[in-house]
Amino acid sequence: MQKILPVVIVLIAVIVSVSKASLTSKIVKENKDHPGKCYDTSTKKAYVVDSTWTDEGCTRSSCSIGTEKGTYEIFRAGCVPVEDQEGCKIISDSQMPFPECCPKVICDGVYSGSSRRKIVLGCAQSLLAIVAEWSQAGRIAWYHTEGNRACASGYVGAKRDG
């Protein structure tokens, strides 16, 4: 039980920090050239146990001690596939860190005879901070959370009725 607890804690931390992400894990044996470290064959690098790193392709990985002696477990979080929908487009920015680099669906809606795009205006550590930043712009339509951050979403285009 004591060996499993750190793995569970890291797994929970990864899930909490990565909303809307796919999660995989892989057991790896200790690499003789990197004793006491977690060797990721994908990046060909050794990492300190309980560390987190980002990979190419918009993923975040972490390493924990495995349940069997001489093993480690690599958890990898990646983007969930998104589906194109009518009136929507998929955007992504591979230059952003994970999870901001994940594809997002932006949809057009018709309000007051104008085409408007629903977008995430911004995120902050608290709802109060995000309201203070975006409420004066008058564009907040709803709030949601992304991990442990509060986010405001709204519309780009002509002012919404109501």
Question: What are the pLDDT tens digits along the chain (162 aa)?
Answer: 555 544 444 444 433 343 445 788 899 999 999 999 999 998 999 999 999 988 878 888 999 999 999 999 999 888 877 777 666 777 888 888 878 888 877 765 433 334 445 556 666 665 555 555 555 445 555 566 666 666 666 655 444 444
> pTM higher than 0.75, yes or no?
no
Sequence-distant (6+) residues with CB within 8 A of 13 are 62
- The whole-number pLDDT of residue 105 equals 75
Tell whether 139 is covered by a domain: yes
Sequence-distant (6+) residues with CB within 8 A of 161 are 111, 112
Residues 74 and 93 in one domain: no
- The count of domains in the chain is 2
| Full domain range(s) for residue 145 | 88-156
- The whole-number pLDDT of residue 45 equals 95
Instruction: State how far the Cα of 71 lies from the Cα of 90, in Å rounded to an integer.
Output: 39
- The whole-number pLDDT of residue 93 equals 83
Instruction: State how far the Cα of 145 lies from the Cα of 58, in Å rounded to an integer.
Output: 20
- The whole-number pLDDT of residue 114 equals 41
Domain end among 17, 51, 79 = 79
Residues 57 and 117 in one domain: no
Residue type, 112: S
Tell whether 56 is covered by a domain: yes
Residues 116 and 59 in one domain: no
Strands (E), the chain: 21-29, 38-40, 45-47, 52-55, 59-65, 71-79, 88-91, 104-111, 114-124, 140-146, 149-156
